[in-house]
Amino acid sequence: MGIVLGIESSCDETAAALVTTDRTILAQHIASQDEAHAPYGGVVPEIAARAHAERLAPMIEAVLADAGMSLDECDAIAATAGPGLIGGVMVGLVSAKALAMASGKPLMALNHLEGHALSPRLADASVEFPYLLLLVSGGHCQILSVEGVGKYRRLATTIDDALGEAFDKTAKILGLGFPGGPAVERLAREGDAAAVPLPRPLKGSAEPHFSFAGLKSAVLRAKESGEHRDADIAASFQQAAIDCILDRLAKAIGSAPPADTLVVAGGVASNAAIRGALETFATNRGMRFTAPPPALCTDNAAMIAWAGCERLALGHSDPLDIAARPRWPL
């Protein structure tokens, strides 16, 4: 059995975790910066980088203390090396390099999206390759065929906004604050999903790509018209998003290698309405559906440590001079 220390700092969560190759999360800490960014209605990169720099080192000490371990007992140090806000990514990656250098343990410089993509296998040992993955977060909206560690075939992506971004913008339009996804989901429960006519961008188009910019603009027009309850707008937006996801997934399945499991990951995967719709969709197609628990869907370090565990098992590691990458497609 191996133990990996994972570090996540690519956006506005500072996180550290210790995870074993047999799927035990020995310890994890996560500090959200929501309060620091809320006055600005979105993540401010400079504020995020400073907060990561202040919090990360004591947090790493805390997870080691929680697990009653020393750094020498870890088998590898894994950190997100991109994509993300470069200042924050550098704080995490440089910390991991320093710890790897001091301890002589291998460094794993990981793609944040790989952390999300492999997180279902941390939560559920029975998830085997290949599986079809809907990866929906604040910065990404993709359908991937996950064929092995490091073997990801992208079947679809967004041509404009990510789904989480659409949730956040809808929340802003409705005055729900930041981050918006959970607030929109809560309000949607009180609304009528058929009340507000909203578009389903790209529905029926030949390629399985996503587009959410037009939906967001329609939400703005619906709000400005003054004709609708906010809860109805939230519910109708969420339903339009679900309809788009299911249509695009159905299209992608036609171009993917056969997989018997559908998985959803990324921050938006913590949305219960979306999870429910995906479960029905998969069941109707004879596929199994699985999703990590919500705490493993939003950004966290356990998924990074787990991706490190997967790579450790294959004997991978990265050189200490590896660079952080603000853009890094999976």
Whether residue 137 is annotated as binding a ligand: the answer is yes
Kindly list the residues in this chain that would bind ligand KG4 in the complex (CB under 6 A): 11, 137-139, 164, 167-168, 179-182, 185, 266-268, 270-271, 298-299
Query: DSSP 3-state assignment of 229?
Result: coil
Ligand-binding annotation for 315, yes or no, is no
Nearest distance from C-beta of residue 280 to ligand KG4, angstroms: 18
Residue (151 or 189) nearer to ligand KG4, CB: 189
Instruction: Please state, in angstroms and rounded to a whole number, the distance separating the CA atoms of residues 310 and 4.
Output: 10
Which is nearer to ligand KG4, 130 or 138 (by Cβ)? Answer: 138
37 assigned to a ligand binding site: no
The reply, when asked if residue 145 is annotated as ligand binding, is no
- Ligand-binding site membership of 112 (annotated): yes
CB-wise, 12 or 232, nearer to ligand KG4? 12
Judged by CB under 5 A, which of 28, 33, 137, 317 binds Zn ion?
Answer: 137
Burial class (CB in 10 A: 0-12, 13-18, 19+), 2: middle
On whether the CB atoms of residues 322 and 107 are closer than 8 A, the answer is yes
Neighbour order of strands in the sheet with 13-20 = 25-32, 13-20, 3-8, 76-82, 107-111
Give residues 249-308 in contact with Zn ion (rule: CB under 5 A): 299
Exposure string for 6-28, b = 16+ CB within 10 A, e = fewer: bbbbbbbbbbbbbbbbeeebbbb
135: annotated binding-site residue?
Answer: yes
Using the minimum distance from each CB to ligand KG4, give the nearer residue, 67 or 135. 135
Q: Which does 41 bind (CB under 5 to 8 A by kind): ligand KG4, Zn ion, none?
A: none
The answer to the question of residue 119 lying near Zn ion (CB under 5 A) is: no
* Torsion of the alpha carbons at 184, 188, 189 and 191, rounded to the nearest 10: 150
The answer to whether the beta carbons of residues 110 and 17 sit under 8 Å apart is no
Is 116 labeled as ligand-binding?
A: yes
56 or 184: CB nearest ligand KG4: 184
Closer to ligand KG4 by Cβ: residue 218 or 312: 218
Coil vs helix vs strand at 41: coil
What does 168 bind: ligand KG4, Zn ion, none (CB cut-off 5 to 8 Å by kind)?
A: ligand KG4
Q: Please report which residue ranges of 104-147 form alpha helices under DSSP H.
A: 112-123
**Distance (Å, whole) CA 300 – CA 157:** 23
Measured between alpha carbons, how far is 76 from 26 in angstroms, rounded to an integer? 15
Q: Which does 270 bind (CB under 5 to 8 A by kind): Zn ion, ligand KG4, none?
A: ligand KG4
Report the interface residues with Zn ion, using CB under 5 A: 137, 299
The annotated binding site for substrate is made up of 135-139, 168, 181, 185, 271
